[in-house]
Structure 1
Amino acid sequence: MSELDALRERVVALERENDELRTPKRRRIRGRSVIGAVLLVLAVVLAPVAAMGTWARLQLVETESFVATFAPLASDPDVQDFVAEQVSAAIDEQVDVSAVVGEVFDGIRSLGLPPRADTALTLLEGPAADGAISLIDGVVHDVVRSEQFADIWTQSLRFTHDRATAILQNAPGTAVQLSDDGAVTIELGVVIERVKQAMSERGIGLADVIPEIDRSIPIAQADSLALVRTVYQVADIGGFWLPWLVVALVVAGVLLMRDRPRAVLWSSAAIALVFLLLSAGLGIGRGVFLRAVSPEIMSAAAATALFEQLTSLLAGTIAAIALIGVLAAMWAWLAGSSRAAAGFRGLVDSGFSAVRGAAERRGLTTGAFGRGIDRFRGPIFIAAVVVVTVLLIASRPVSFGSVIGAGVGLLVVAVLVELLRRPSEPKEMDVDPSADAATSTAQDPVSAPDAVS
């Protein structure tokens, strides 16, 4: 084959390549991309379930988390008023204060007092009974607002939760049984005993006539013990493993997709949207809860304090995960191929290049270490993301502050990598004049025959 024929074949091949580049290829949907999309959809669907499961597990399984959630209620004024009203009502049901005061006055009358003194006693009997009732009510409120009541409240919460979990776990040798209807209660008997003790310390003799009262305040109710046990077991297992499953689905789904930044962008935005909707649903649930328990069971103020304290951890987790979705979507957009993202990356890269250049001109360089960082900067950032993700999940519940801290930490890592890395200089390749001339000739098919001839 002559040199002219070889050159002509080369020109035809180049033209064919140019045609292929100009002709848009029809994208084929690969099977692995379909599987990746399915995994990402599953992750988005399971993400709120994992968050709810983690919250339920912390409340149902871990006693200290349960106590930490409900213990602050002892210092809430609305809850204190509710408990004080319940204690006073329990005492009124067991002790007829007016009758006790009347017996005292009858004993005084039996001493044979003058008529005017007897009339005065009759006038004083009603106010004395009212004063005794007010005195008891004041002592009750003082006790409920004291630090001793907060300790009693905490001890009752811990005892109640330990008793419930012992039954739900089928612990052998459990002495105290949970009620068959699944009721979880706060016992008022301990509080009433403390009220009697306080009355005795103040010299109020009515404390001796208050009997032992067995009364409780229900704080949770399930349809049946079997249902409670089932929920407990599901929360125990699912609350621990579901978050790890969601993370695994996201990682696998992104790795299987062809356009990974776009996959991260859409899946993160979907997760953020789902958790924003979940936050709205939490607000709707608050209204439903208030209508269900007030005013028949407790006042609206006490019910509001109870719901907000119960869901504060969940609300914080929802906001934190929504923030994670927003931050991940922003990162995916910046890593995408859009013109705005490419321009932003170019601007940032030129800024860091200027900083590195200024440092090198003053003798500050990272040398071989910087070249190593430049070579492995992608794996370094991926490793940082993995470490932060593991720490967030391991230190559950995820909070808004922890997410902000994780984002700031990743930003610091990225800045340090850009400042420390030292991009390698492009090597100048030796150019063969004959090859360069052939290449120039091949790129100009119009003048190729003339040049050869």
Structure 2
Amino acid sequence: MTERGRAPVPEEAPTRLRNALSAVLLALACLLLPFGALASWAAHGLTDTGRYVRSVAPLAADPHVRRAVADALGDGIMRKAGHELDSGPLRGAAGPFVHDAVRSFTRTDVFRTAWEAANQAVHTAVVRALRDDDTRATAVTVDLAPVVARVKRQLTDNRVPFAHRIPVTHTRVPVLPAGDVDRLRKGYQVLDTAAFWLPPAAAVFAVAGITVAACRRRAVTALGLGTALGGGLLVLAVAIGRRLTLADLSDPLHRPAAGAVYDALTASLRTVSWLLLTLGLTVALASWLTGRYGPRSAARRCAPASAAPAADPAPEPRRDRA
């Protein structure tokens, strides 16, 4: 076929420009992916009351959590009953009995039920405040009278002195002040928007980066390595957040309990982080092995698009017969 008979080949974009554009798109995808996972966990994972209660329910059997709850309940009961009890030796004698009884109460099935009910009530109140569109932010309060009533019943059954005199009043216990509610509400709205847009945007950038790349196999390898890097940084961020959270606690005795709560709430985020790390490394390794040991067609696909096709070999000169 002569040169005139060949169809004109459309001129493609320069290879360097395509690779640069692909690198930018893949970098954006790898950057948005961990942030999207973090926003989805904060906006949807932490605000789901059922999932939250299922996450913290096993903590009722944690010894550090039971000790912290027993100390808080014992101190609260003594403060509540302070005006009912006589001052002096009676109050000093009742204190150890109350704390021992509360520690025994934390090892019962009643405590597990009260633990789940209290966490559900607190979480429901906080989520309702965060999702409320009212411009006037008010403090979040919870009525823990049912929990106190169960503790009083347990103390009375154990024949603890003065247990029957513990008042059970429907007092609204503050959970979040109004200033914190307004700040958390704005943060929740930002996270909710980010959780909706970041994952699809990361997927679009990833597909566009692979499509534009001159060598798609190398683009897939780069995307896998970037995803693994994002997952590793997310694992590191969770670990640093745990250290900073425990360092801000004023009472070092309650740090093990706070650490157990932090680990329970971030379990799903850690799972997603390790999944991104493992999946990214697997994709990158598979792509690299395919390009190195695969068929030669992969090398041809990764050849520069602007390379000119090889010229046809010159025809041998024909010898005329004598």
Residue 329 in structure 1 maps to residue 291 in structure 2:
no
Residue 92 of structure 1 and its aligned partner are, at CA, apart by 2.1
Counterpart-to-counterpart distance in 2, 1:203 and 1:290: 38
**1:99-178 superposed matches below 5 A:** 100=86, 132-170=94-132
Aligned sequence identity (%): 27
**Contact (CA 8 Å) 1:275, 1:318: kept in 2 or not?**
yes
2:14 aligned to which of 28, 40, 43: 28
Tell me how large the CA RMSD over aligned residues is.
Answer: 3.4
Equivalent residue letter for 1:324: L
Alignment partner of 2:205 out of 246, 249, 252: 249
Does the CA contact (< 8 Å) of 1:98 and 1:129 recur in 2? no
How far, CA to CA, are the matches of 1:179 and 1:155 in structure 2?
23
Residue 261 of structure 2 corresponds to: 306
Distance in 2 (alpha carbons) for counterparts of 1:257 and 1:451 = 53
- Residue identity matched to 2:57: A
Q: How many residues align?
A: 295
Residue 66 in 1 paired to residue 21 in 2?
no
SS at match of 1:335: helix
Q: What is the CA–CA distance in structure 2 between the aligned matches of 1:325 and 1:285, rounded to whole Å?
A: 23
Q: Report the Cα offset of residue 83 of structure 1.
A: 0.6
Matched to 2:97, the amino acid is: L
The structure with the largest alpha-carbon Rg is 1
For the 8 Å contact 1:55–1:314, the answer to whether it is kept is: yes
Contact 2:42–2:191, Cα closer than 8 Å, also in 1: yes
* Inter-partner Cα distance in structure 2 for 1:452 and 1:161: 101
Q: Shift in Å at residue 244 of structure 1?
A: 2.4
1:450 is aligned to 319
TM-score, normalised to structure 2, is 0.78
Give the C-alpha shift of residue 271 in structure 1: 1.8
> Which residue of structure 2 aligns with residue 268 of structure 1?
224
Contact 2:30 2:226 in 1 (8 A): yes
Pairwise CA distance, 1:147: 1.7
Higher relative contact order (CA 8 A, sep 6+): 2
Work out the CA distance in 1 between the residues paired with 2:77 and 2:227.
52
Structure 2 counterpart of 1:406: none
Partners in 1 of 2:46 and 2:110 — Cα distance?
Answer: 26
Question: Is the Cα–Cα contact under 8 Å of residues 87 and 140 in structure 1 kept in the other structure?
Answer: yes
Specify the alignment match of 1:317 in structure 2. Answer: 272
TM-score if structure 1 supplies the norm length?
0.57
Structure 1 residue ranges without an equivalent (≥5): 1-9, 14-26, 103-125, 347-438
Aligned residue identity for 1:265? T
Mapped to 1, the partners of 2:288 and 2:81 lie a distance apart of 71
Deviations 1:326-379 (A, max 9, x none): 11111221332x3xx23xx69xxxxxxxxxxxxxxxxxxxxxxxxxxxxxxxxx
Is 1:85 aligned with 2:41? no
Alignment of 1:353-432 (within 5 A): none
1:154-193 CA-partner distances (Å, limit 9, x unpaired): 1222222222222332279xxxx9744xx6x776543322
CA 216–165 in structure 1, closer or farther in 2 if over 3 Å, else same: same
